[in-house]
Amino acid sequence: MKVDFNIDIHHLPRVEGHGNIHISVKNGTLEKAQWEVIETPRFFEMMLRGVSAERASFLTSRICGICSISHSLASIRTLERAMEIEPPEAAKTIRLLAMHGETLQSHALHLFFLAAPDFLDMPSAVPILHSHPEIVKAGLLLKELGNEMSIATTGRATHPVSLVLGGVSKAPSKQRLKELKEMILKRRTALDRTTDFFRTLSIPEFVRETEFISLRNGKDYPFIGGDLVSTDGVVRDENDYLLMTNEYLTDFSTSKFTRVSRQSSAAGALARFNNNSRLLGHRAHDIAASFGLEPICHNPFMNNIAQLVECHHIFENAEMLIESLLDDDLQEIRTPYKLKAGEATGAVEAPRGVLYHHMETDDKGKVLKADCIIPTTQNNANIHYDLQALAAEAVKDGKTDRETEKLCEMLVRSYDPCISCSVH
Amino acid sequence: MNHLGFKIDKVKIGSFDFTCCEGCQLQLANKESTLPAFLGLLDIRNFREISSERHDDYDIALVEGSITRSDEVERLKAIRAQAKVLIAFGTCACFGGVNNLKNKIPQDEAVKVVYGDKKVETMPSMKISDIVSVDLMIPGCPVSKAEVERIVVGVVTRSPNNLPKYPVCVDCKQKLNTCLFDLGEVCLGPVTKAGCDAVCPTGKTPCLGCRGPSDDMNFPSFIQIVKEKNLSLDEMQEKLAFYNGFADYLDHES
């Protein structure tokens, strides 16, 4: 059967930011499949010029409402490396716990509010509240736990308050840390319920060989700093981020595209897993195996499962971090520093993948030049080429326009794109 | 929905984002313990970020972000024409927010630095009330969900909504925080509208004025404190300009 159809999704729903999908099929053959980012640019790199180092992270956190802690820490890491400031160990632990909170919150938001409705054929999570109340409740408990971790460590869930140059401006109280530990223990049931729920969903089978980019430090599952690596065997120093991104412009997208060894590459939970799976906590490792998730997995839909696996890792690791903070007197949380001229890159693993900030400062610590490369920017080209392969496969398999449309929407959502972030 | 035996109608609401980080809309999904009850007050007609259902029969429009492109102007006007109540939601919508920092440089220069020779449309960032009339403002970067809940409940129960008139300092003092001025920092707490629970100074970082000027404040006396404490007036200016809420108070000569 020779089919003709066009799919034009304007402002794709249930993703952060504004993007369009265009697909056109003529005579049963795919003519065009395009991922088009149409977000309004904000020009953060220009806004940063002249801002003092102490204010920079408060500005860059506003690049993204979902991963503001990652942006804040990427800027702080950049400026600390540029000015040779070494934060105290306790502050590093508090920062990592803050990252865990943000990642858990972001993954829970994506898995339950953005991705799950597709699998249950619902327009949003609101009707799921009635059809599967216990599932949404579990999701809310996880999301709330993530937010509580962020609030305890940074003062607020979105746009952190106490992450500052040299360390943190305030440490969580011991009482708060104990409550947080209790909360983690109590909410394991919610995580297990979530895991059981995801076992019942059928993840589309689609494979396109991809180069996965992430951080790697060889010691821990990576969140803050490290070497830049790819599943194609590339290893670079953190300061050589430009060689890992090679940004270029297309005429149909306000977000730039990137590439490394191939025409596109991917970052995010699946990329972190593919490069670092042996560094996951025991339980997270077992959960991955139980879902048949093994490195190197080339199915982008499995990013959902990689996010779930990371939630398990965070539960295990956060408990250990809290233990070590409870053993510390938390007196040394900020190193005194002198603002000076310098230049460096800071890379962190935001929930959606590796995030780079690069800054140069003058001798008073004012930002002279800044560059920010966002995970979704690194995923946009891969989404675009995946979309072409997926749509071609769907047409070949004789899927209808409605089925093709749904699969394509699900594909984009699997990347959990943060579009306003990618057009900063 | 019933309350004390009386039937309360849900409000038909739409949530829309323009140039921003979408962090304020995200707050709607926070405060998870009261989220099901909060959602029970709302008939969500249009909220692209969380739902693929889209209807244009909303009464209340939450509008997040500032305006930086001509297509946004048109979209905003259409929303204004539909909504009975338009709420500027968050600091970018109320004042322009950090987006306005790009207005300090020529727009074509900004495009050149970020995009090279590619033609990218942008215009100086504008707050929502520069384009359409605004019925209510909920400032904050991000907005406080507790305050949003209070205001939505007020709308549902037809009760008046008021933001605090006093400055952040009042809440900060009640928390017995050490004053950041005594730690050598310029804090905008004395002049910024309260309602955020003084979250920044409580975390020992200075208030940057995301909620804009408070009704009851003494600006000259604030400058006096900065001078008396021998703190940097440049730093004060940088902070006042951060969210554009104090655009009318910027003294370019000091």
Measuring CA to CA, which residue among A161, A143, A98, A424 is closest to residue B199?
Answer: A161
pLDDT at A420: 79
Q: Does B169 touch chain A (CB under 8 A)?
A: no
pLDDT at B253: 44
Residues of A in contact with B115 (CB under 8 A): 41, 249
Q: Does any domain span residue B68?
A: yes
Residues B104 and B226 reside in one and the same domain: no
Residues B174 and B64 reside in one and the same domain: no
Give the end of a domain, one of B128, B156, B184. B156
Q: Which residues does B58 contact at the CB level (< 8 Å), separation at least 6?
A: B12, B13, B14, B45, B46, B82, B83
Grouped pLDDT means (10 residues each) for chain A, 424 residues:
86 88 92 89 93 97 96 98 98 98 97 93 88 93 97 97 98 98 98 97 96 96 97 97 92 86 96 98 97 98 98 98 98 97 98 98 97 94 95 93 94 92 82
Q: Note whether B32 contacts A59, CB cutoff 8 Å.
A: no
Residues B212 and B236 reside in one and the same domain: yes
Q: Please identify which residue in the block is written with the tokens 């990329």.
A: A271
Residues B134 and B224 reside in one and the same domain: no
Measured between alpha carbons, how far is A350 from A336 in angstroms, rounded to an integer?
27
Q: Does any domain span residue B121?
A: yes
Instruction: Give the confidence band of B117 by pLDDT, cuts at 50, 70, 90.
Output: confident
Q: Does B114 touch chain A (CB under 8 A)?
A: yes
% of residues, chain B, pLDDT over 70 = 98
Q: A313 in helix, strand or coil?
A: helix
Which range marks the domain in which residue B124 is found? Answer: 2-156
Measured between alpha carbons, how far is A139 from B49 in angstroms, rounded to an integer?
17
Q: Which two tokens stand for residue A87?
A: 């934060």
Question: Among partner residues B113, B115, B239, which is closest to A249 by beta-carbon distance?
Answer: B115
Which run of H or of E encompasses A422? Answer: helix A419-422
Q: Does B146 touch chain A (CB under 8 A)?
A: no
ipTM of the prediction: 0.95
Q: What region does A104 belong to: left with phi over 0, alpha with psi -120 to 50, or beta?
A: alpha
Question: Among partner residues A13, A40, A68, which is closest to B68 by beta-carbon distance?
Answer: A40
Q: Note whether B50 contacts A113, CB cutoff 8 Å.
A: yes
CA angle, corner A228, sides to A223 and A229, nearest 5? 105
Q: Note whether B23 contacts A249, CB cutoff 8 Å.
A: no
Q: Does B183 touch chain A (CB under 8 A)?
A: no
Q: Does any domain span residue B252?
A: no
Residues B178 and B220 reside in one and the same domain: yes
Q: Does B126 touch chain A (CB under 8 A)?
A: no
- Return the residue of A nearest to B42 by Cα: A126
Q: Please identify which residue in the block is written with the tokens 């190193």.
A: A335
Q: Does any domain span residue B16?
A: yes
CA distance B145 to chain A (A): 11
Buried b (16+ CB within 10 A) or exposed e, B84-103: eebbbbbbbbbbbbbbbbbb
Number of Cβ pairs < 8 A linking chain A and chain B: 156
Contact predicate B167/B192, CB 8 Å? yes
Residues B31 and B107 reside in one and the same domain: yes
pLDDT at B120: 84
- Return the residue of A nearest to B22 by Cα: A65
CA-based end-to-end distance of chain B: 56
Q: Where are the alpha helices (DSSP H) in A208-302?
A: 269-276, 282-290
Q: Residue B23 sits in a domain of what CATH number?
A: 3.40.50.700
Q: Note whether A46 contacts B20, CB cutoff 8 Å.
A: no
Q: Which whole-number Å values give the CA distances from A164 to A54, A97, B13, B128, B158, in the listed order?
A: 7, 15, 38, 32, 43
Residues of A in contact with B113 (CB under 8 A): 43, 45-46
CA distance B21 to chain A (A): 5
Q: Which of A36, A42, A148, A406 to probe by mutation at the B interface, max B CB count within 10 Å?
A: A42
Beginning with the edge strand found earlier in the chain, give each strand of the sheet holding A353-361 in spatial order.
Answer: A342-350, A353-361, A367-373
pLDDT at B45: 94
Residues B141 and B88 reside in one and the same domain: yes
% of residues, chain B, pLDDT over 90 = 74
Measuring CA to CA, which residue among A53, A41, A28 is closest to residue A337?
Answer: A53
Number of domains in chain B: 2
Helix axes A133-154, A68-82, angle to 10 degrees: 30
Residues B62 and B139 reside in one and the same domain: yes
Residues B146 and B198 reside in one and the same domain: no
Q: Does B48 touch chain A (CB under 8 A)?
A: yes
Instruction: Give the confidence band of B254 by pLDDT, cuts at 50, 70, 90.
Output: very low
Pairing, β A342-350 against β A353-361: antiparallel
Q: Note whether B205 contacts A169, CB cutoff 8 Å.
A: yes
Residues B143 and B234 reside in one and the same domain: no
Q: Does any domain span residue B184?
A: yes
pLDDT at A1: 58
Most distant CA pair in chain B, distance: 65
Q: Which of A15, A158, A402, A409 to probe by mutation at the B interface, max B CB count within 10 Å?
A: A158
Give the end of a domain, one of B114, B135, B156. B156
Q: Does any domain span residue B254?
A: no
CA distance B6 to chain A (A): 23
Residues B219 and B121 reside in one and the same domain: no
Whole-model pTM: value is 0.96
Partner residues linked to A235 by β-bridges: A229
Q: Note whether A140 contacts B32, CB cutoff 8 Å.
A: yes
Q: Note whether B199 contacts A55, CB cutoff 8 Å.
A: no
**Computed from CA positions of residues A295, A298, A301, A307, in that sequence, does the dihedral angle turn out positive or negative?**
positive
- The answer, yes or no, to whether residue B112 has pLDDT greater than 90, is no
Question: Among partner residues B24, B27, B203, which is closest to A170 by beta-carbon distance?
Answer: B203
Domains of chain A and CATH, by start: 44-422 (1.10.645.10)
Residues B142 and B196 reside in one and the same domain: no
Q: Does any domain span residue B78?
A: yes
Give the end of a domain, one of B107, B136, B156. B156
Q: Does any domain span residue B139?
A: yes
A232: burial class by Cβ within 10 Å (0-12, 13-18, 19+)? middle
